[in-house]
Amino acid sequence: MSEVALDDIDRGILFLLQNDARNITIAEIAEGVNVAASTVRNRIEDMEENGVIEGYSPKIDYEKANYPLHVLFVCSASANEREKLAAGILDQHGVVDVREMLTSKRNIYVEVVATDTRDLTEITNEFTSIGFSIESSEIITNHYTRPWAEFEFEEAEN
């Protein structure tokens, strides 16, 4: 299996990065998890190389950025094309997030932001033209994420 053994230091680093991946310094992380800065640097490099960390991105409030519509489309793609289509759909206008599910139907969940119904219609026309069947649409009103408590670093007392 391609899994990686993370220890408490790795998890503590991930937790602090989840708080503010852009502005926190190596030194601050080192202080937070109580190891040397060089260790933090190595651990981050390792996690980037083995793929535990896939990248860093800003969390954007699309509604504030003038995309008043945030919709989740549950789509079906045929089993053999599913993986290819799921990856490719990211290039489509309006798509911000794609999840692939295990079943043969309702197996691709696509999150879309749009300006109005006309914009949504164009986006969904593109979906169906590449072979997706749109099973249902759900209007998203809120989206929450958080630094993950499981990763929080708790130093052993002594």
Subset of 60-119 contacting its own copies (CB under 8 A): 60-61, 63-66, 68-72, 79-80, 83, 86-87, 90-91, 93-94, 96-106, 109, 115-118
Task: For the CB of residue 141, give the shortest distance to its own copies in the complex, in Å.
Answer: 5
Q: Is 7 in the site for its own copies (CB under 8 A)?
A: no
Verify binding: residue 137, its own copies, rule CB under 8 A: yes
157 is a site residue for its own copies (CB under 8 A)? no
What residues from 23 to 52 belong to the interface with its own copies (CB under 8 A)?
A: 23, 50-52
- Judged by beta carbon, residue 20 or residue 155, the one nearer its own copies is 20
Q: Give the C-alpha distances (Å, rounded to integers) separating 55 from 21, 47, 87, 108, 155.
A: 10, 10, 17, 22, 27
Of 47, 42, 54, 41, give the one whose Cα is nearest residue 5: 47
Identity of the residue, 31 or 45, whose beta carbon is nearer to its own copies in the bound complex: 45
Q: Which residue from 9, 134, 152, 153 is in contact with its own copies, where contact means CB under 8 A?
A: 134
Task: Give the phi and the psi of residue 40 in degrees, each rounded to 5.
Answer: -60, -45
CA 141 – CA 145 distance, rounded (Å) = 14
Stretch (H or E) spanning 20: none
Q: Which residue has the tokens 């979906």?
A: 127
